[in-house]
Homo-oligomer: A and B are copies of this chain.
Amino acid sequence: MVTVYDVAKRAGVSIATVSRALNDRSRVSPETRRRVREVAAELGYQPNDLARSLVGKATQTIALLLPDITNPFFPELVKGVQTVADERGHLLLLCHNADDEDKALRDLAMLRRKQVDGVILVAGALPGERFAEAAAGLPVVVMDRAVAVPQSTLVAVDHRAGARQATEYLLRLGHRAIAHVTGPEHVPVSAQRRAGWEDALRAAGIEPDERLVVPGDFQEDGGFAAGRVLARQRGRFTAVFTANDLTAIGLLASFQEQGIRVPQDVSVIGFDGIHLAAYTSPTLTTVAQPIFALGQRAAELLLDRLAGQEPPADVVTLDTALVIRDSTGPPPGDPPAATHPTSRTRVEESRA
């Protein structure tokens, strides 16, 4: 391994000068700088960041803790974070905890030992009460939903309002009996989206029907299973709001298998706005989160804070947008109004 000593000797200067010539913060004669750089290149010198960071500088590394990288929502989020991290010269460490709190806690400890500069934490289903001490001293940005980490900033959409937006759209199409496939139990985001569905129904004078609430798991499998459960209640509902897009995809597959036509017999609307939602059959109407932007914003907030800036707020909320495609239409029996999209995809509205 080539070190500053090797470069110094060969260039005939001290290691201090090598350091200065390479990092050029302070005054070094142009001639010296040139010489040192030439020698460094010649020797293939690569600075050891371990030593550099040890001297007291940052590691230029941030970490992203994810509950489930398999949901296409997350890769898109990763890209948003990665983009900003790259631009600003930081490396991204990725930790996947599969909703296992102990794993997340272990990761956090390891990250602190490695001296990462900061962390972006997607809370998912994690209880999160024990994060406060695990993250002590670590700048953190939380995503998706709040978690009891002091000093942390939250970046998210308003899940409840988004769910309400979805349900209101179905109501506007004329639906009155609207089922809901939930996310996993005990996950705050599941509860928030369900609450939004209830809000919209109640605001329309409809009491949410427990029998039309079917459990899901945020994955295709849960949506598929929910489709079988719902099929038994055929005729008792004309639309379904699913807790996320993956659930809707499973539901669509299930309905297809059982000969339930979407949207002629039943309308389906999802949540998330993953890219794939434009390619289901029928294409999926959904409440889109600005996924990439959420990732970018979280990374910016974290890096700004590392650069000494005060966070603009404790909570940064981005807007959802209703993306209207082919899986929704008027309830069966209604006159075929001009609600059908003319183009492949139409973004109806966006809200704060």
Contacts and interface: CB of A to CB of B under 8 A. Distances in A.
* Copy count, this protein chain: 2
A204 interface: no
Given A50-B59, A224-B279, A96 B70 contact: no
Contact of A70 (B47, B76, B114, B282): B76
Contact of A93 (B46, B94, B109, B249): B94
Nearest to A281: B281
Q: Which of A93, A249, A281 has the most CB of B within 10 A?
A: A281
Interface string A58-99: 010100000001101011101100100010000111111000
A114 B91 contact: yes
Contact of A95 (B47, B76, B92): B92
Interface residues of A, number: 51
Contact of A281 (B44, B78, B252): B252
Interface string A40-60: 000010111111011000010
Interface string A237-272: 000000000000110110010000000000000000
Interface string A95-131: 1100000010000011111110000000000000000
Nearest to A52: B113
Contact of A113 (B49, B82, B282): B49
Contacts of A93: 91-94
B281 A280 contact: yes
Nearest to A77: B69
Contact of A92 (B48, B49, B94, B136): B94
Given A220-B279, A250-B279, A256-B281, A96 B112 contact: no
A83 B257 CA distance: 35
The 9 closest A-B pairs by CB, nearest first: A94-B94, A281-B281, A69-B75, A253-B279, A49-B113, A220-B279, A50-B54, A256-B281, A49-B114
26 contacts: A46-B112, A46-B113, A47-B113, A48-B113, A49-B115, A50-B54, A50-B59, A54-B54, A59-B114, A69-B79, A70-B76, A70-B79, A70-B275, A78-B96, A86-B103, A91-B114, A92-B94, A92-B95, A93-B93, A220-B278, A252-B281, A253-B280, A253-B281, A256-B281, A256-B282, A281-B281
Given A46-B109, A70-B75, A79-B96, 12 more contacts: A49-B114, A50-B54, A70-B76, A72-B72, A72-B75, A74-B75, A78-B94, A78-B96, A252-B279, A253-B278, A253-B281, A256-B281
